[in-house]
A = this chain, B = another copy of it.
């Protein structure tokens, strides 16, 4: 019997993705569900998580799973049990670990999804060997994680790394967190789609190819579709990604001023656009970094583990914590 396996669950605004992960960070089995709508009660989401965990335990063999790690797109308290606030989910002071632990027979640890991704990229991915890492995940919103000397920096109350809710535009777009001008309203998957919608609303001819791609159904436009159009050479899609990249670079320059990491790792669904996004981010970063030309500069690199980083990191952190 091996107890070297752990289950990792990544809960985002749109999907609950799980996997069985070994000590080398390899994913052997997978399961996923759509995230229940925000109008549903927290217990509905918890039921979905338990379904995914149960399915994975059966796939792996229940005896071989040592721990379950949950990476949640929310503010997780320092107890690694409670989600105190989740802009994209219905959780408010939700005792997630206790609710799940009643229904799962191995130890559970809850972490912020981007903290989990940061850990995974440091241990198995793009940030191996780096001492000061900032992870930025671009999905529905922006998640963030900070690693110093291989330690996840959770802050005083567990909530460090909520980079997406730093204000970059005074009086700017409304954010799901309730504020205005949050970074994630300018550099995320949601921002990408909103900007495309703005072009459609303005009836701009430069958006006609994108509109054709969704056969005129505006609501069918998604981030991945825009990325695919950009890869295929659509200039408007490229401009939209470059604009997101520009705002990404602004926020990265701000974080570099404050924390001076050696590397920024860019993950999450939007990062699949690769250099269509990152070239613009790097250019803006270099133009906006204070002291540029005089100081060493952090590298901006794509995540290596892609969308798996959250679940791999959640699993590995749980195994690590279960000791």
Contact = CB atoms under 8 A, between A and B. Distances in A.
A257 B184 CA distance: 12
Is the contact region of chain A dominated by helix, strand, or loop, or is it mixed?
loop
Given A163-B257, A260-B154, A298-B156, A290 B169 contact: no
Nearest to A259: B160
Given A167-B250, A168-B167, A170-B168, A155 B261 contact: yes
A93 B294 contact: yes
Contacts of A161: 258, 260
Nearest to A293: B85
Contacts of A162: 257-258, 260, 290-291
Given A169-B170, A250-B167, A254-B167, A156 B260 contact: yes
Contacts of A260: 154-162
* Copies of the polypeptide in the assembly: 2
Contacts of A210: none
B157 A262 contact: yes
A177 interface: yes
A177 B256 CA distance: 14
A268 interface: no
Nearest to A160: B260
Nearest to A133: B156
A260 B159 CA distance: 6
A261 to B, nearest CB: 6
Interface in A115-137: 130-132
A109 interface: no
A255 interface: yes
A218 interface: no
B167 A291 contact: no
Given A92-B294, A158-B260, A153 B163 contact: no
Given A75-B291, A291-B159, A258 B261 contact: no
**Which of A87, A167, A259 has most chain B Cβ within 10 Å?**
A259
Interface of A: 75, 84-85, 87, 92-93, 130-132, 144, 146, 148, 153-170, 175, 177-179, 182, 250, 253-255, 257-262, 288, 290-292, 294-296, 298
Given A131-B156, A177-B291, 8 more contacts: A85-B291, A157-B295, A159-B260, A162-B290, A162-B291, A163-B257, A178-B292, A255-B258
